[in-house]
Chain A
Amino acid sequence: MHLGMSITPFGHHPAAWRTGRSVEAIGFNRLAAQVAKAQAGNLAFVLLADRFGQRPLHDLSPEAVPFEPTTLAAALATASRQIGIIASAATSQHEPYNIARRFASLDAISAGRSGWNLVVSAEALARDKEYVEVVSGLWDSWEEDAFICDKAAGRFFVPHKMHVLDHRGEHFTVRGPLNVNRSPQGKPVIAHKLTLPTFEIAAQYAEVIFIDAPSPEKANGLVAAFARRLHHYGRDRSDVKILADVVIYPGATSAGAQELRDSLDAMAGHVQWSNALQLVGDTREIADRMQQWTQAGIVDGFTILPCLVPESVHALVDHIVPELDRRGLLQRSDEGFTLRDHLGLRKPQHPASQVVA
């Protein structure tokens, strides 16, 4: 089972900020403390979501990070040393050359721990497909051993190990090469939140798939359909990690957990705010449900959405993770260095080096 955690200033529940929180929570230090806690729990990654363009102006509910995610990711990368950092960025907001640079740079800053949560536009999927191809192609601008830095000979890189993309497509014309070195992990990991309109782009390019499913039956249907599209594009189910979003309401007792949820729902004035799985219970109960999901082979793990920060983060790392570990359910992420290592994802080889091999 792979575990990641989505970072928010107050918690994922819409009423979390109403529970006696302060404005301190939207500062960098509190967010970095959450990441440090997640790292101490050997989680594979933190996810920095973005509400950019997703909400009307008058709705300021604090569900996303109060920083632009890629810059926050760079700052967090230097304040952590092991955990992966997946940042959201929308294709509608950046030119492909700029996004390719940003994430290649993040991968260098984090020494191979970065991921791009690809946010696409449902109404421009053909453009977005070309967009991802351009970004991925730009990430192949340099072979891994291109930079020899030979001071005596005056040769900084091997000229034929630089590859000019020269992309000329319907939506983009991009010469390249990228002006950032090849990523430490080959290419940054591409993650994507699966929705029906984005099935095809996800099946072709994404390596980490986030799904929202309230029940195992719903998840099963979604994953089976997705696996068929993967095969269609010559990819295997094992080439991707499918992680279910899960909101946790942990308590010392079942009753305490239920009370927490009820009080939050009452403050929010509504109960249905997410399609994600909601787990309410004590440590054993939450671990049981997670075990059922992964042992049924539906998903490869979870992205934890703590209902309340930092309390639920502490419960996760101090109680739930150790319980899952005792049961032998966790993939250790403290052995590798890169996000790909943590998730068991293959490191992409450069096309030129594949030919030689």
Chain B
Amino acid sequence: MSAGRSMKLGAFLMAGGHHIAAWRHPLAVADAGADIAHFIALAQIAEAAKFDMIFIEDAAAIRERNANIASQASRSTMFEPLSLLAALAVNTSHIGLVATASTTYNEPYGLARTLASIDNLSRGRAGWNLVTSASELEAENFVSSGLRPHAQRYERAEEFVGAAIATWDSVDAGAYVVDGGIYADPSGLHPVDHLGTHFTVHGLLDSPRSPQGRPVMVQAGASDAGKNLAARTADVVFTAAQTLQEAQEYYGDLKSRMPAFGRNPDDLKILPGVLPIVGRTESEARQKYAELQELIPDEVGVALLASYLSIKDLSQYPLDGPLPAMPQTDGIQSRQQLIIDLGRRENLSIRQLARHFAGSRGHWQIIGTPTQIADELEERFRAKAADGFNIMGAYFPAGLEDFISLVIPELCRRGLFRKNYEGRTLRENLGIKIPAHGA
């Protein structure tokens, strides 16, 4: 590779595809959310193309309260991510496996142990996308009544991460010996003794230390508290940024926070999500996009937009008018601002914004030829706006296959992406150090 620095690519998988109407596309596997063979095939396709990782998002609830609206989209049901990753772990050999799990609705020891289990099943390829869970539908599925305030969720997340790391670090490499009458070397075992505000953990990991030390930590938070948590603890950050300028500002801000936590900015990889619609010609790409947009019911698009804005109902406002004035809520504040900004900047109506966001769900989308797409990715990669990208196939498997067969060869030609995996663990392939024990 020419430059030494190469893009890190994630394949962001989602049952039918990232476009909200993807499941209706003739090439999409409609019932993919319950088809394990489909997911194994996707992971293997991404691995053959040398993606760094696959990425699975999650919410511990259905995503739309209104049954009529929900029933017009394919996103209500899906495999539970940690069991899905475990199944994928033993059907792949090099690709990283990142699943989303909530610090609000899990306990640190149990989740750390489950992730360690996946890390060992995959021989060091697991990652954890930490979320603090902002949706009311999730809150209603757990004892805790009501959504916890943003600050309180992050306070819990901070403590959660500390307890999880202590759990992963409770076993040294090689502590399990099983030889000469010794089962485990006591000097390699460091029981967790955590007594905090939110958790009490006394325990020891009952499995060997992961080949990559501990799972790769992924985050997406973009609030001030979220950025600080990421600057202190994340190995990979997944973001939504529409424009080059937004992406650069985010990138610069987050990396500049790292030295204060004693970290080198290169040890954190920032991967904006991008939904590429690839055509051999630009008009073919535009036509593919138009086909998908045609399949979106307005009800679904507007409901999705309302959920990103964390407001209950948008349908009372004129579809062809602008967004109403919005109060700050306890939901995902960063994405809310991004939508409001885009609406103002481009003077978009509710219907136009809904269509726009239903497609990419708030992420950057590029419609064009392999050269055009590679140009845009390269620009952001070189302009300190991204260390790589989380690729969101519009529909599966064809949307991912198009990117692999048309765009990746172009990235490789430019020396921007690997031809072979550098190592066997996710940390090795990302070029991120195994964390110092107890750090």
Contacts and interface: CB of A to CB of B under 8 A. Distances in A.
Interface in A16-62: 17-18, 21-23, 25-26, 28, 32, 51-52, 57, 60-62
Nearest to A104: B80
5 contacts: A71-B86, A75-B87, A105-B79, A157-B71, A180-B79
Contacts of B87: 74-75, 77-78, 109
Interface stretch (A90-98, A230-238, A248-256, A301-309): A90-98
B304 to A, nearest CB: 14
A171 interface: yes
A349 interface: no
B264 interface: no
B23 A75 contact: no
A101 interface: yes
Given A22-B179, A23-B178, A156-B72, A78 B91 contact: yes
B80 A68 contact: no
A151 interface: yes
Interface string B27-63: 0001101101000100000000000000000011111
A179 interface: yes
Contacts of B86: 70-75
Contacts of A61: 183
B131 to A, nearest CB: 14
A75 to B, nearest CB: 4
Given A159-B71, A179-B62, A179-B78, A151 B202 contact: no
A53 to B, nearest CB: 8
A18 B87 CA distance: 32
Contact of B83 (A21, A106, A154): A106
> Among the interface residues A75, A173, A176, which one has the most CB atoms of the partner chain B within 10 A?
A75
Interface in B176-235: 176-179, 181, 183-184, 189, 191, 202-204, 206-208
A71 B206 contact: no
A271 interface: no
Nearest to B72: A154
A228 interface: no
B121 A102 contact: no
B117 A68 contact: yes
A97 B142 contact: yes
Given A22-B178, A179-B62, A155 B72 contact: yes
Given A162-B71, A177-B62, 13 more contacts: A68-B207, A71-B83, A75-B87, A94-B110, A97-B105, A142-B77, A151-B25, A151-B26, A154-B297, A159-B67, A159-B71, A174-B142, A180-B79
B340 interface: no
B142 A95 contact: yes
Nearest to A166: B140
B103 to A, nearest CB: 13
A79 interface: yes
B76 A23 contact: no
| Cβ-closest 9 pairs across A and B | A105-B80, A74-B86, A68-B117, A71-B86, A149-B30, A175-B140, A159-B67, A74-B83, A101-B80
Given A79-B90, A179-B77, A181-B77, A109 B137 contact: no
Interface string A250-269: 00000000000000000000
- Select the residue from A17, A175, A181 with max chain B CB neighbours within 10 A: A175
Interface in A171-202: 171-181
B394 to A, nearest CB: 15
Interface residues of B, number: 71
A337 interface: no
Nearest to B60: A97
Given A67-B207, A74-B86, A109-B36, A97 B79 contact: no
Interface in B107-151: 107, 110, 113-114, 116-118, 120-121, 137, 140-143, 145
Contacts of B183: 17, 60-62
A50 B85 CA distance: 20
A147 B33 CA distance: 11
Contacts of A181: 33-34, 77
A102 B41 CA distance: 21
Contacts of A52: 206
Contacts of A111: 36
Nearest to B89: A75
A67 B178 contact: no
Contacts, number: 190
A254 B106 CA distance: 51
Interface string B275-294: 00000000000000000000
Interface string A108-127: 11010000000000000000
Nearest to A178: B77
**Category for how many chain A residues contact B:** 35 or more
Interface of A: 17-18, 21-23, 25-26, 28, 32, 51-52, 57, 60-62, 64, 66-68, 70-75, 77-79, 93-95, 97-98, 101-102, 104-106, 108-109, 111, 142, 147, 149, 151, 154-160, 162, 171-181
Contacts of A68: 113-114, 116-117, 207
B82 A71 contact: yes
Contacts of B82: 70-71, 102
B380 to A, nearest CB: 33
B30 A151 contact: yes
Nearest to A28: B121
B121 A75 contact: yes
Given A71-B121, A109-B79, A78 B90 contact: yes
B62 A70 contact: no
Interface string B66-102: 0110111110111110111111011100000000000
B207 A66 contact: yes
B398 to A, nearest CB: 15
Contact of B73 (A51, A75, A104, A156): A156
Contacts of A106: 83
Contacts of B90: 28, 32, 75, 78-79
Contacts of B326: none
B24 interface: yes
Given A18-B181, A95-B105, A105-B84, A72 B117 contact: yes
Contacts of A102: 80, 82-83
A88 to B, nearest CB: 13
A180 B137 CA distance: 15
Contacts of B176: 23, 26, 66
A39 B105 CA distance: 36
Contacts of B145: 173
B383 interface: no
Given A23-B179, A66-B208, A149-B30, A108 B36 contact: yes
